A and B are shown apart, each in its own frame.
Chain A
Amino acid sequence: MHPILAQLRRLVFYLLGWIPLAGMLAYLLAVPGGLTWWQAGAVAFPLCLLYAFVCLAAWYPCLATPLERSSVPRFLVTHLVGAVAASALWLLVARTLGRMLSASRGFRGIDSRLSDDLPLLFGTGVLLYLLAVGFHYVLLAVEASRQAEARVMQASLLARDAELRALKAQVNPHFLFNSLNSISALTASDPPKAREMCVLLGDFLRRTLGLGEKPSIPLAEEMSLVHAFLAVEKIRYGDRLRMEEAIDPAALDAEVPPLLLQPLVENAVVHGVANLVEGGWIRLGAQRRNGLLEIAIENQFDPEAPPRRRSGVGLVNVRQRLEARYPGHASFLAAASGDRFRVALTLPVESDPVRAVVRNIPQEKIL
């Protein structure tokens, strides 16, 4: 589709651009051409309106003769032939118009005077067409640069997506080393418990490995991952770690990106419970409302805890993943008040059309 005909707004601007050209043509016909101003205007404006559309056809030869890949002779021949053909067509119309007008009062003899002006009209037609050719090449260049920009944007989006994939597949090394140390402690004091912890840790690791591949999983599956994680942490922290859940059963089959909540729960453990001498609670709530899945994770923390030696990548990562996946349709809010830290997320659930569109993008394309 021609870029100017594709949008009414562009077409209007294009035609407005022809008004001064029509004025110039009227001047040519009136002053050197010998027509009265009234006659010149009556001929020039319809002719230019028509020619405006004829010149749009220059788009196709321009498209077929790209500036950077065409030889000079081919370029000249293509556009000169186009210019002559367009101008000839224009003359034909001009003569017909002249004949039709000469019948009416005030235009008598216009046909013969127009015939005298034919070389002038022809030259103008060729020039106007060549002007249109230049204009179309500018259009093509603008279009090309816009496409290049879009490609760069797309590439950076893909890169970010790849990065997020890498991030979500990552298990926190702290968690792993500390868990191994706990197992090491238990092997002497409580061998059955050591074995249990090995199994729990293995279970958690296996789940995270499998999940990185999937675009989304039911909330129930994410919750069982969270439980596997907490089961390991519970052995480390004992009574210091208290988990409370309030999950609407209707929310359990809503699809969520895998490893969306686990990093948030891990954050709550590492920056909350772990810094409290007496431990603390983590509350996780989820519900469906108006086509949205609302999740809140709240935990106690010590506002005067030692400075973090690790940056809070978890929160940033989850926020970015939500933004990349549901642009404009998800929200992420993290805030501390007093000794409580709360993260609230909303995201569209499966039945939402936006979500369906997102899910329809084949994974191969994203990779």
Chain B
Amino acid sequence: MTVPEGRRIRTILVDDEDLARQVLREFLSAHPEIELVGECANGFEAVKFVAERKPDLVFLDIQMPKLDGFEVLELIGTGPAVIFVTAYDTFAIRAFEVHAVDYLLKPIGTSRFEAALERAKERLSGKLPPPPLPAIELAAAARPPQQYLDRIPVRDGASVFIIPVAKLDYAEAQDDYVALASQGKKHLKQQTISSLEASLDPSRFLRIHRSYVVNLERVSKIEPYGKDSHVAILSTGAQLPVSRAGHARLRAFLDR
């Protein structure tokens, strides 16, 4: 997203602590080119606000009620420029460093703040390219090692659904999206199936086909299908194709 010359940068602050927003508000007040259009105290509000009002710049705290900063970023996508704010999170900071994402550390100093804002402005004027990494990959990079997702946030317009991974039956690749089947519904999310697979616990989820990742707890039967392939029948009644490699993985898992 770029901001045309002469228009003020529409900015929102997302942090559950009023005092933390207050510091940013104070720093931003010295910049007439910034228009503070909103403040959100939790992740749900932030996603809704971004979907409805489409701000240019978001200051985003990581630890918040409802949705954390990474989940918010996943759902708002790369539309607005984002500056992360955190107190102390070694894994997140490493991910920001590696992927050249702007971030501020609490307590926030003026010079560091000005530098981050300057970069954000350059991004918004098109002088700097946006961070090359999709939001989801950044979130994965910032996750502490050996920690798998235990829930998947999805967005439909301005509303957010949280799918606990235990309630995910399977995921199906659909072009640039994955369809997440859970409790009889399908939710679309912009993500590749490989990156979803990588963020799920491999002892609970298995890639049975180029286009399918299945929750192993849901698999009730595997039946031969045609000459060379198989089909997995889930306890929900869904039937998923199993590729040859997928069948080998499934066998290896079941034999364990």
Contact = CB atoms under 8 A, between A and B. Distances in A.
Interface of A: 173-174, 177-178, 180-186, 188-189, 235-238, 274-277, 302, 304-307, 309, 311
Interface of B: 16-20, 22-23, 26, 41-43, 62-68, 71, 87-89, 91-92, 105-108, 144, 147, 149-151, 162
Contacts of A182: 17, 19-20
Contacts of A275: 65-66
Nearest to B91: A309
A304 B153 CA distance: 11
B26 A177 contact: no
Nearest to B25: A185
Contacts of B106: 177-178, 180-181
A274 B61 CA distance: 13
B78 to A, nearest CB: 21
A266 B23 CA distance: 24
A274 B42 CA distance: 11
Contact of B17 (A237, A304, A305, A311): A237
B105 A236 contact: no
B144 A185 contact: no
B65 A274 contact: yes
Contacts of A183: 107
Contacts of B19: 181-182, 185-186, 235-236
A182 B22 CA distance: 9
Nearest to A194: B19
B107 A180 contact: yes
B15 to A, nearest CB: 10
Nearest to A178: B87
B67 A184 contact: no
Contacts of B147: 307
B20 A185 contact: yes
B62 A276 contact: no
B108 A184 contact: yes
A174 B87 contact: yes
A307 B68 contact: yes
Contacts of B62: 309
Given A181-B19, A181-B20, A306 B43 contact: yes
Nearest to A184: B107
A305 B66 contact: yes
A309 B23 contact: no
B64 A174 contact: no
Contact of B26 (A174, A185, A235): A185
Contact of A307 (B22, B89, B91, B151): B151
B238 to A, nearest CB: 26
A253 B105 CA distance: 42
A185 B22 contact: yes
Contacts of B63: 174, 274, 306, 309
B66 A306 contact: yes
A-B pairs, 7 with minimum CB distance: A181-B106, A306-B68, A177-B87, A185-B19, A181-B107, A180-B107, A185-B23
Nearest to B72: A306
Nearest to A180: B107
B89 to A, nearest CB: 6
Contacts of A189: 22, 26
B45 to A, nearest CB: 9
A274 B162 CA distance: 19
A173 B88 contact: yes
A309 B26 contact: no
Contacts of A238: 18
Contacts of A178: 17, 20, 87, 106
Nearest to A273: B65
6 contacts: A274-B16, A277-B66, A302-B65, A306-B68, A309-B62, A311-B144
A181 B92 contact: no
B87 A181 contact: yes
A307 B43 CA distance: 13
Contacts of B67: 306
Nearest to A309: B89
Contacts of B23: 181, 184-185
B42 A174 contact: no
Contact of A177 (B43, B66, B88): B88
B108 A181 contact: yes
Nearest to B29: A188
Given A180-B107, A185-B26, A189-B26, 16 more contacts: A173-B87, A177-B88, A177-B107, A181-B20, A181-B23, A184-B107, A186-B19, A188-B22, A236-B17, A274-B63, A274-B65, A277-B66, A306-B66, A307-B149, A309-B62, A311-B144
Contacts of B92: 309
Contacts of B68: 306-307, 309
A172 to B, nearest CB: 9
Contacts of B105: 177
Nearest to B62: A309
A236 B107 CA distance: 13
A183 B107 CA distance: 9
A173 B106 CA distance: 11
Nearest to A311: B144
